[in-house]
Structure 1
């Protein structure tokens, strides 16, 4: 399960906690949360599914959005789908989701 908040908050940056693309999770924490290995996360980076940001020290940092993609990849790989095919499936699912979001009728508040 992926929690709603990253490992640490930036002082004065509460809005970052709501941003699903904020890279708030270390590789170790991300692997622990997903129940997978750091090597699996590296393989998703190599396959081009997720590209984690790097900290000032060069360490990978993941967002909640990236963790959701990695969790989906893990599900597919656990079902026997090769990682490259799983990454392609997920990329297409993500594109479809974004297109559906963009095509939703706008409501006036």
Structure 2
């Protein structure tokens, strides 16, 4: 008696597809259809790309002292972290005062 291969059942966009020797994975219908590109999508992508380029150029531009905004952020970040920790500790201390039972 010859043994038959097991059949795998798959559902793609609501239709049952039977396969014998290959395994397919179900995908949503929008992945199976070719995407149509529009001119508005191209223009939008170009505008966003130009804006990102402008921001990067502005942030990395050196001023008269030879430092950029990124350099200032790197220098001041540890101070800001310490100040945020101090504010958090003050807030917790104030909450403890108000939360103590009388």
- TM bin (shorter chain): under 0.3
Normalised by the length of structure 1, the TM-score is 0.25
State which structure, 1 or 2, has the greater radius of gyration over its C-alpha atoms. 2
